[in-house]
């Protein structure tokens, strides 16, 4: 039997991540030898999000809440990597905290290492589309009421040594009036 046929049988002809039954195909979980054990059956939707990070929709992968408990290591590895990639959303991190992988499965899951961390995060840009990096200085281009802190960050205020927010390209963190606050990048201009 081919890998695809093996996977159809193993998965009961459903996506092993979200249980959809449309557009099923095999996906190798890299690094993989192409065997059934190192592949998973996925639907067209899951495959598109996994292979094209611009199509990623975190909510779709709430299905991992169930599928991360699959007994197949390949499914566990894919679930682990997706949850890690989406961890900035909050709930994926909660699931990750519950997910226990056998030692050799964990090694596999981490095998792509640093490549994983670069995925899917759009660059952080200021109001003019200039890329912002950690440590940059910016000015605020609009009076901003800082909720919770009880002051207004005035237009023209300089914020030095900004921090990027992992997984969120719309926000940065910086100190204004000695208080660390989150600022929307659309109200900032790089100095
Ligand atoms: Zn799916």
Q: What is the predicted pLDDT for the residue at 177? A: 87
Q: Give the span between the Cα atoms of 96 and 64, in whole angstroms.
A: 10
Q: Quick one: what percent of the chain has pLDDT higher than 90?
A: 77
Q: How far is the CA of 41 from the centre of ligand 1 (A)?
A: 8
Q: Within a 13 Å sphere around the CA of 22, how many CA atoms are in the beta-carbon half?
A: 4
Q: How far is the CA of 108 from the centre of ligand 1 (A)?
A: 21
Q: How far is the CA of 61 from the centre of ligand 1 (A)?
A: 8
Q: Which two tokens stand for residue 130?
A: 């200039």
Q: Give the span between the Cα atoms of 83 and 167, in whole angstroms.
A: 12
What the chain holds in terms of domains, given with CATH numbers, is: 3-118 (no CATH), 138-190 (2.30.30)
Q: How far is the CA of 110 from the centre of ligand 1 (A)?
A: 22
Q: Give the span between the Cα atoms of 62 and 45, in whole angstroms.
A: 13
Q: How far is the CA of 51 from the centre of ligand 1 (A)?
A: 13
Q: How far is the CA of 67 from the centre of ligand 1 (A)?
A: 10
- Using one digit for the tens of pLDDT, what is the confidence trace for 51-110? 998 999 999 999 999 999 999 999 999 999 999 999 999 999 999 999 999 999 999 999
- Using one digit for the tens of pLDDT, what is the confidence trace for 104-127? 999 999 988 654 444 445 789 999
Q: How far is the CA of 20 from the centre of ligand 1 (A)?
A: 5
Q: Give the span between the Cα atoms of 138 and 176, in whole angstroms.
A: 11
- Using one digit for the tens of pLDDT, what is the confidence trace for 155-168? 999 999 999 888 78
What does the pLDDT average to over 128-155? Answer: 91
Q: Which two tokens stand for residue 126?
A: 């200021």
Q: Give the span between the Cα atoms of 174 and 111, in whole angstroms.
A: 34
pTM: 0.60
Q: How far is the CA of 90 from the centre of ligand 1 (A)?
A: 21
Q: What is the predicted pLDDT for the residue at 120? A: 46
């Amino acid at each position: 039997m081919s890998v695809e046929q093996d996977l159809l049988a193993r998965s009961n002809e459903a996506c092993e991540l979200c249980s959809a039954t449309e557009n099923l195909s095999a996906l190798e979980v890299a690094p993989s030898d192409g065997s059934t054990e190192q592949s998973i059956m996925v639907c067209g939707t899951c495959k598109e999000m996994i292979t094209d990070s611009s199509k990623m929709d975190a909510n779709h992968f709430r299905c991992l809440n169930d599928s991360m408990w699959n007994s197949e290591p390949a499914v566990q590895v894919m679930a682990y990597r997706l949850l890690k990639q989406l961890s900035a959303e909050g709930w994926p991190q909660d699931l990750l905290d519950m997910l226990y992988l056998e030692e050799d499965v964990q090694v596999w899951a981490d095998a792509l290492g640093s490549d994983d961390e670069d995925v899917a995060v759009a660059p952080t840009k200021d109001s003019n589309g200039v890329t912002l990096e950690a440590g940059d200085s910016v000015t605020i281009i609009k009076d901003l009421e800082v909720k919770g802190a009880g002051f207004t960050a005035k237009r023209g205020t300089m914020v030095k040594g900004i921090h990027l927010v992992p997984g969120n390209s719309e926000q940065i963190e910086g100190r204004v009036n000695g208080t660390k606050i989150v600022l929307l990048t659309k109200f900032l201009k790089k100095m």
